[in-house]
Amino acid sequence: MGRDCAGIEEGAPRLVSVIMPAYNCERTVAESIEGVLAQTYRPIELLVVDDGSSDRTRDVLEGYRDRVRIEHQANGGVASARNSGITRTSGEFVALIDCDDLCDPDRIALQVAALDRFPEAVACSTSFSAFDAEGEVSPDYGSRYYSSLEQAPGGLQGLYPRSADVSAPGGGSASARLGSIYEQVAFGNFVHPPTFMVRRSAIERAGLQDTALRYTSDWEWIVRLARTGPFVHLDRPLLRYRLSPGQLSGHTTSAGTALGILDTARKIFEADPALARRNAARVRAALREFHLDAAYALSATCKREAFSHLLESLRLGERSTGALRIALRIGLPAKVLERLRRARAGPTGA
């Protein structure tokens, strides 16, 4: 998959390959590229994979041809674009970034420093802030975005108990925390993919992202990587995450996402029967919740399938008022549900 790193002079800077999938992002991709080019760490190779864009993304990218590697492919989704980028690069470390997010200049330098400080760690993530068209939304958005992080006993400190300070050559610093998070992340992701850096050697052990998991390939891939070794987390926002109106809504309400989460959870638990046996009650509770989410997401459009997921959640022990509300949604005609939606939204929410 990558080059043989043996023989590199000890202490010499190692190449970092930054992978940026790009799809219909003509308005944001230039700013995201500039954030990578402004990194204090060297050497870096930035590969932008244009995933079949139909807007002017290709034209914008051509303006960076002399400073950035650019590849074009037919649209295959973010996992396909990331896999293509990984296989076409050679850095000892692979860092991910999305085409609408912005990097702190010290991000790459501090992540390499953290992985050097904890050589047993296979990957490194960071905290992140969030902004939208109106300005800053939150200086530390992780606990709001990932419910599993908010619910973890002890929060970040509980997940990553060992800590050490790390610094970048330019003077930036951060607190790095190490933890074996495999069993925790198997029940819900809290590692933000656009902040992720991973050793290529870990990818060679765990494999690439599963392109069949269109909505949730990040989570399943991170679980596989976490099974190979501990992760380190930098408790400093080193990425500005751009929010769009679609991202502000609950991300389990679409049928594709809800079904994807359920399929991914099943795959994770089936891949490690010992994990499932050790956490039988927790596995049952997670599947119960994911079936209920799927029932809700499908309740207005695919009522037969929604009813099947509702029955499965009940079989697994679901006894909430939420299940009753979903049962009512399944029983109501689609036209009635649409009228109720419009009534709740008000005259300007149609």
For the purposes of burial, counting CB atoms within 10 Å of the CB of 343, is it exposed (0-12), middle (13-18) or buried (19 or more)?
exposed
pLDDT tens figures, 171-217: 899 999 999 999 999 999 999 999 999 999 999 999 999 999 988 99
What would you report as the CA-atom Rg of the chain, rounded to the nearest whole angstrom?
Answer: 21
Tokens of 250: 């609950």
Structural contact between residues 131 and 240, judged by C-beta atoms closer than 8 angstroms: yes
pLDDT tens figures, 90-118: 999 999 999 999 999 999 999 999 999 99
Tokens of 155: 């929060």
Residue in the block written with tokens 């992002």: 25
d(CA 296, CA 106): 42
Q: What is the mean pLDDT of residues 117-128?
A: 98
Residue-range domains of the chain with CATH: 16-248 (3.90.550.10), 255-345 (no CATH)
Read off the pTM. 0.89
Instruction: Taking the CA atoms of 228, 195, 175 and 188 in sequence, report the sign of the dihedral they define.
Output: negative
- Please give the DSSP secondary-structure letter assigned to residue 307: H
Tokens of 272: 């490690």
- Please give the DSSP secondary-structure letter assigned to residue 193: G
Beta-carbon contacts of residue 257 (< 8 Å; ≥ 6 apart): 215, 216, 251, 297
